Amino acid sequence: MSHVRPTTVPLPGQSPSAAKEAVRMRTFSFAIYTTMAVIVSYFPLYFHDKGYSEQQIGILYSIGPALAIFANLLAGMASDRFRTIRKIMVVLLAGQLVALTLLFTVEEYIFVCFIMAGFYLFQTPLNSLNDSMILLSVKHTGRSYPSVRIFGSLGFACAALLIGLFLKSSGAGMTIMIGMITITLSLSLAFTLRDYQQTGARRTVQYSGFLKLVSKPDVVVFFLLVLILSVAHRMNDGFLAVAMQQMGADESMVGMAWMVSAASEVPILFLLGKYGHRIKELPLLSFAGLAYALRFWLLSRTDEPQWAIAIQALHSISFGVFFSTALRYMTHLIPDEYRASGQALYAVVWSGFAGLLSGTAGGYILEKLGRSAFFETAMWLAITAAAGFLVKHLRSR
């Protein structure tokens, strides 16, 4: 991935409209990741505040990803089939807004499960479609993927900190209202985006070719390793807030931890945008797996929320390196005509299957075996994935 200056000044040979479009995409990425901060950082605390156990919260986090397996595939295939990303994102954001509105009206746990399942059906495909749009926009705007994705990290970091401070004084009950505000903002911004999928040649997408492509051993092994590492990552995502609360942290400390995580991505994404193309992807992915292992081992050994906050800085060389590098590797595996479908498949693995496994197994391990065993399990999964990426690299040579 060649580096292009991540400024908004028109590059040589490019029109001012390309610079404006880059600004709009960065703003939209900022907005949708503020919602992600609410979901990841504060939804667990919201449900914990309602009296749900760790296992019940784990079920809430697994039902949605299980159904979202189909949502990601359908959204990606519909995008490639109808040659539009923006319109599908508008539908998804509207669906999220309706689901959170319904959540205000129910108290019974079983109905909350159904509504959250519906919410995740609309929420989980959004990030993969946004990634697809960013990747397709590169040749039009002249901005690299990391230079746009950085603004998602900034949105997550700002929201995690500021919302945490707000909830500390107002209480976790305001979480859903905040989510509705951030989704409304994202929906408004979605109408301003250019639909890059429509700029490609209009042709019938042959999904038999896509299925043949993703059934190749090289592709299957890659997605299997991504799944293993994703389960470890999702265990931390789903239960870090609860684990920190067990250490004695309040909402503002949880927000600080997520702010540190997201802010730490920014310099790494900048460096990857500038120099990442000089390093082969598989060794970088192996390095990210080892960084994850170190991160989870340290979390398994601390009982102090202040140390948990500091450890989240390792998010930079774990998730920051892994996610950007995995997407770069995907561009070699999946051609542009299947871009949205390929990103949807990646999202199915990353958030669907991984979310299902981490939510059910992770909630059980945390409740029955404790915090140390929970993070040690994530550590061994990360080590397994790191070894797999390294072996795959050595075999490819």
What is the structure's pLDDT at 120?
87
212-264 confidence digits (pLDDT tens): 777 788 888 999 999 999 999 999 988 888 899 889 988 788 888 988 988 89
SS (H, E, C) the chain: CCCCCCCCCCCCCCCHHHHHHHHHHHHHHHHHHHHHHHHHHHHHHHHHHCCCCHHHHHHHHHHHHHHHHHHHHHHHHHHHHHCCCHHHHHHHHHHHHHHHHHHCCCCCHHHHHHHHHHHHHHHHHHHHHHHHHHHHHHHHHCCCHHHHHHHHHHHHHHHHHHHHHHHHHHCHHHHHHHHHHHHHHHHHHHCCCCCHHHHCCCCCCCHHHHHHHHCCHHHHHHHHHHHHHHHHHHHHHHHHHHHHHHHCCCHHHHHHHHHHHHHHHHHHHHHHHHHHHHCCHHHHHHHHHHHHHHHHHHHHCCCCHHHHHHHHHHHHHHHHHHHHHHHHHHHHHCCHHHHHHHHHHHHHHHHHHHHHHHHHHHHHHHHHCCHHHHHHHHHHHHHHHHHHHHHHHHHHC
260-303 confidence digits (pLDDT tens): 988 898 888 888 877 777 888 999 999 999 999 999 999 999 99
Find the mean pLDDT for residues 20-41.
91
Percent of all residues in the chain with a pLDDT value above 90, rounded to a whole number: 37
349-377 confidence digits (pLDDT tens): 887 788 778 888 888 898 889 999 999 99
What is the structure's pLDDT at 57?
82
Domain boundaries, the chain: 16-396
16-396 topology per CATH: Growth Hormone; Chain: A; (1.20.1250)
Q: How confident is the model at residue 6 (pLDDT cuts 50, 70, 90)?
A: very low
